[in-house]
Structure 1
Amino acid sequence: MKRLEALDAARFLAYCGMVLVNFRIAAQVAEGTDWASVLINALEGRAAALFVVLAGIGIGLSKISAHVLMRRAAFLFALGLLNMIEFEADILHFYALYFMVGTMFLTAERRALCIGAIGVIFISTAAHLVVDYDRGWNWDTLNYCDLWSFPGFIRNLLFNGWHPVFPWAAFLLIGMAIARTQLHRPGVQNRLIIWGFGAAIFATFPARLVTDPDLVAVLGAQSLPPGPFYVLAGTGTACIVIGILLKLWPTIDRLRIGAVLSAPGRQSLTLYMSHILLGMGLLEATGRLNGSLSAPQVFFYAVTFCTVSSVFALLCSRKFKQGPLEALMRLLTEPSKNLTRNT
């Protein structure tokens, strides 16, 4: 199937949303009621969910083997562990576990993928009802106290980290199920948009029907803790963005602005690492990681960084098909393919 550049564009938009949220977390900006705080709060948990859904679609559209996917999982796990030294809210090492789950469903039909996603959500919800979700967290500083102990790391990875396998692996399976549809058809695109709006709106109601704080947390649409209606809301938002971009892409392409969005989307791994090493590094070098920035200041810094990222990716794409980290991952995880190309 011909590569859908609209999905690359959606990946870049997800990256931009993650940059906004992560810069706010790193800069320790207090939540407020100004327009920037409201926007960043709305993106929290949604941009990353879109990222994972798109990863599932990418796996579903490709012919990747389980062996290659597992090698990519190992690469991302190692890269994510290195990244966690600088930024504990890293998502890459979680991706490794999502991919491991995905290998079990590579040849599954759409119905089996949906059942698998529901199973992941069910396990997560059951765990929230019987296990202390707050264990390990210092909510005042957003630090995970025993992250680097074995029990704490496993608990964080599977259950109560920033993007735990249960339920976040459901987003990957949902993306793989979406890939089983005919995304190029307008009818499918319309259903993604309509269903997405319905799901995102419906997910906000259950928490309003209860008063018990524990039930409010489980039934809420917020990403911490990630209850079933958060997964529904995140999936709905992802479907809206994907559906709209697929529908508008012919117009965007005719306006000759498609490459500005799609080129950075194909280099999202490189850009993700750069926003931590370079973007947050610059904030740290200038002494801004101490709560001194306001939400609007973080917003404009993030937008500037994303603009520079897009320009870099566009220039890079003129000479190279992939970003540096994407090329390295392929080199290390697909040695037979690279050997065949060289011979």
Structure 2
Amino acid sequence: MTNAPNPAPQSRLVGLDLARYLAFVGMVIVNFKIAMGADNDGGVLGLLSGALEGRAAATFVVLAGIGIGLAGSKALDLTISVSLRRAVFLLAIGLLNMLIFEADILHYYAFYFLFGVLLLPLSSRALVWVILALNLGFVAMVFAFEYDTGWNWETFAYADFWTPAGFVRNLFFNGWHPVIPWLGFLLFGIILSRLALSERRVQMALVGLGTGALAFAEGASIGLTNVLVPLDPEFGLLVTTEPIPPMPLYSLAGFGAASLVIGLCLLLAGPLGKWRVLPLIVPAGRQTLTLYIAHILVGMGTLETLGMLGGQTTAQAVSAALLFSLGATIYAYLWSKLFKRGPIEALMRKLAG
């Protein structure tokens, strides 16, 4: 395996917590929009919130890969052992979560962790080839199998998720965050963990290359759509940057968005620390597993009580998401004054190491 640099100073770790926090807020906005039945109804708010779809979650997975990569650089065998146990933990709570929220991502995380740590000893070059194979393999699967199988796109219900065949199909092919190609985001994070992320030149490179990759993916998608769709509308699916289905240009856009956000957060960690902003929001970035569960049980539970699940506008969904995120930030800050870890994080550590 490629030698990893020595662990970076604390400011860099805080930058990753900031990125994790922003990715969490983005996921809340996306999930509240889905739960509240808010379509992208135009305008700046619609465009901005639409841009988060698939990008926020991808950034979250990349950050998980960075965490695994950093841990593996210090103790590979221990990282593999702990990650496998945590995969079992995440699978259990993810499947429980599926009973009330069908767009759960945690049970997918379990398999990202499983395959990710098994691939952790590979060199960065080999991981790039695996990422490429995952994306090309997905395109081949789209041609070989019927992508819509199991889905009711009006209700977003997956008919046979709880059957063996339906579960495997959803997990690897046509679920919300299928292992093929989403595992590539975790592997990309492992690759990033081997860079000198504490160095400004690397942070600037992440911002520049991330912006370039994101712009190229979106530009190529628009250009190819204009050329291919007049020939056959189905060709448009091959060049989309939408998360469903997750085609290669979507993955490229996700890599770019994650690199941009992570690079910016690493750059801003120092100034925000001096302005005493980071201590207020970093605790939430360290409790994202707890807050993810809370945004479903508490956030969506409240929306259901208020009769706001379905038929809402984008502005209402974004406002509700930001209000919940503010409350979650305050809660996490106060909790951190009493306890080192969030409740679900502490439970996972106790059970899985």
TM-score range, shorter chain: over 0.9
Structural mapping, 1:25-174, within 5 Å: 25-62=34-71, 63=75, 64-174=78-188
Matched residue, 2:262: 242
SS in 1 for 2:218: coil
Matched residue, 1:261: 281
Q: Is contact 1:10–1:241 with CA below 8 Å preserved after alignment?
A: yes
Counterparts of 1:290 and 1:299, CA distance in 2: 14
- Aligned mate of 2:207, from 179, 185, 193: 193
Matched residue, 1:287: 307
Q: Is contact 2:151–2:157 with CA below 8 Å preserved after alignment?
A: yes
Q: Relative to structure 2, which stretch is displaced further, 60-69 or 86-95?
A: 60-69
1:129 CA displacement? 2.1
SS in 1 for 2:269: helix
Identity of aligned residues (%): 46
If the length of structure 2 is used for normalisation, what is the TM-score?
0.91
Counterparts of 1:145 and 1:34, CA distance in 2: 34
Matched residue, 2:327: 308
- Aligned mate of 1:325, from 344, 350, 353: 344
1:206 CA displacement? 3.4
2:224 maps to 1:224: no
Q: Is contact 1:27–1:289 with CA below 8 Å preserved after alignment?
A: yes
1:203 CA displacement? 0.7
State the one-letter code of the partner of 2:109. Answer: Y
1:261 CA displacement? 2.5
Counterparts of 1:280 and 1:301, CA distance in 2: 10
Q: Is contact 2:68–2:79 with CA below 8 Å preserved after alignment?
A: no
State the one-letter code of the partner of 1:247. Answer: L
Q: Is contact 1:109–1:180 with CA below 8 Å preserved after alignment?
A: no
Matched residue, 1:340: none
Counterparts of 1:256 and 1:35, CA distance in 2: 30
Matched residue, 2:4: none
Counterparts of 1:229 and 1:175, CA distance in 2: 18
Q: Deviations over 1:72-127 (max 9, x none)?
A: 00000000000011100000000001011112222222212222222222221211
1:262 CA displacement? 1.5
Q: Is contact 1:264–1:309 with CA below 8 Å preserved after alignment?
A: yes
Counterparts of 1:243 and 1:30, CA distance in 2: 30
- Aligned-residue RMSD, C-alpha: 1.3
State the one-letter code of the partner of 1:35. Answer: V
Across the two proteins, how many residue pairs are aligned to each other?
Answer: 333
Q: Is contact 1:218–1:226 with CA below 8 Å preserved after alignment?
A: no
Counterparts of 1:194 and 1:213, CA distance in 2: 33
State the one-letter code of the partner of 2:54. Answer: G
Counterparts of 1:214 and 1:47, CA distance in 2: 27
Matched residue, 2:30: 21
Q: Relative to structure 2, which stretch is displaced further, 209-218 or 68-77?
A: 209-218
Gapped regions of structure 1 (runs ≥ 5) = 335-343
Counterparts of 2:101 and 2:43, CA distance in 1: 26
Q: Is contact 1:206–1:220 with CA below 8 Å preserved after alignment?
A: no
SS in 2 for 1:104: helix
If the length of structure 1 is used for normalisation, what is the TM-score?
0.94
Counterparts of 2:145 and 2:299, CA distance in 1: 36
Q: Is contact 2:283–2:332 with CA below 8 Å preserved after alignment?
A: yes
1:270 CA displacement? 0.1
Q: Deviations over 1:210-250 (max 9, x none)?
A: 22332211221110000011000011001001001111211
